[in-house]
Amino acid sequence: MSNIVSLANVQVPAHLAQRVGVPSVLSQSLSGGISGGEAVPRISIKASRFRIVEGTSETVLDTTSLDVVVVGANPRLSKTWYAKAWTPESEPSSPDCFSLDGISPDTASTDPQNDLCASCPQNAWGSKITPQGKQIKACADQKRLAVVSADDPTGPVYLLQVTPAALAGLGQYQKELSHRGIPAEIVRTRVGFDTDASFPKLKFSFGGFLDEETQTAVDGLFGSDAVKDITGEARHGGVPAVPKITAPQQVAPKPAPVVAQPAPTPVAETQPETPKRGFGAPKKAATAPAPAPQAKATPAPAAAAPSASSLADEIAALVGEVNADDA
């Protein structure tokens, strides 16, 4: 069964009409490289559960899907190699050898396997045999995405790594958008798990268009240094995002007496820490889907919300009916 939502009869909101049919750098990056230990906040899919990992903190989300806005994508496939075999408890955050650009091992690799990825024996088909006897590459390809919560676009930007098994689905999703001239940066992307897989495997589907307020919030993120640092595009340039956002830069211009005032500084630091933002927010993202089931329970769901937001719900309801459209 296909996971792609048909966009054949979708009406684009007026405020997004000028962006449809226009070449999109993000859309190209999403499909780039797809043919058929992180310090940044990231989304883990360990044990087929969405987990928000920030530093040493890990929060397991009580949801089986996330509505995100993709604000960046590394145009190249990254590569990861582990000396030890994968287990259900393995966390894909500390590979022994990895590459962010798919060209050469990163300087932070603890056990680089070759000078170039192209000629690396671990990157050759058949270098690893699965328990089912299938020949694959010991060095796995991944796509690094930078995403924000579609319900909290001004919150944290997270790293989402698309594993090899889900790359084809991501490419097909982007292809579906591209066929309709819809750039990926103006839509909500719904990320869930493929329940037919025996391992954590992501699937991607259309979740609706962004409202004007959300679009304005995310437009400033596309191409930013912070996003490129998360996708790995700026990692080799040594331009970390954290130093650019540090609070001391705001405190420095103030005179010495101000430095002695501890009150303003804790307030600035408490804002991102105390209220959980993004997907870690206290059920804000989980509250949004709640009205949808109630609307479906009523006798007249079609007339319940004639606004643009109902368009996303209506499209999402077509998930199971459109598989033959692109078969």
| pTM of the predicted protein model | 0.64
Residue 216 has which token pair? 């304005």
Q: How far apart are CA 109 and CA 111, in angstroms?
A: 6
| pLDDT tens string 235-276 | 654 333 333 333 334 444 445 454 455 555 555 454 445 456
What does the pLDDT look like over 127-174, one tens digit per residue? 998 878 888 899 999 999 999 999 999 999 999 999 999 999 999 999
Cβ neighbours for 324, distance < 8 A, ≥ 6 positions apart: none
Q: How far apart are CA 211 and CA 215, in angstroms?
A: 6
Map tokens 């490419």 to a residue.
Answer: 171
**Looking at 176-218, which runs of residues are DSSP E strands?**
187-193, 202-209
Q: Residue 93: how many CB atoms within 10 A of its CB?
A: 15
Mean pLDDT, residues 62-81 taken together: 94
Q: Where are the alpha helices (DSSP H) in 1-45?
A: 25-31
How far is the C-alpha of 323 from the C-alpha of 327, rounded, in Å?
Answer: 6
Residue with the two structure tokens 């603890």: 110
Calculate the average pLDDT of the chain.
75
Average pLDDT (21-30) is 78
- What DSSP line would sit under 230-271, residue for residue? HHTSSGGGT--HHHHH-THHHHTTS-HHHHT-TTHHHHHHHH
Q: Which residues pair with 128 in a beta bridge?
A: 136
Is 31 in contact with 171 (CB distance < 8 Å)?
yes
What φ, ψ does residue 245 adopt, rounded to 5°? -110, 0
For residue 177, how many C-alpha atoms fall within 13 Å in the half-sphere facing its CB? 29
pLDDT at position 327, please? 40
Phi/psi of residue 85, nearest 5 degrees: -70, 150
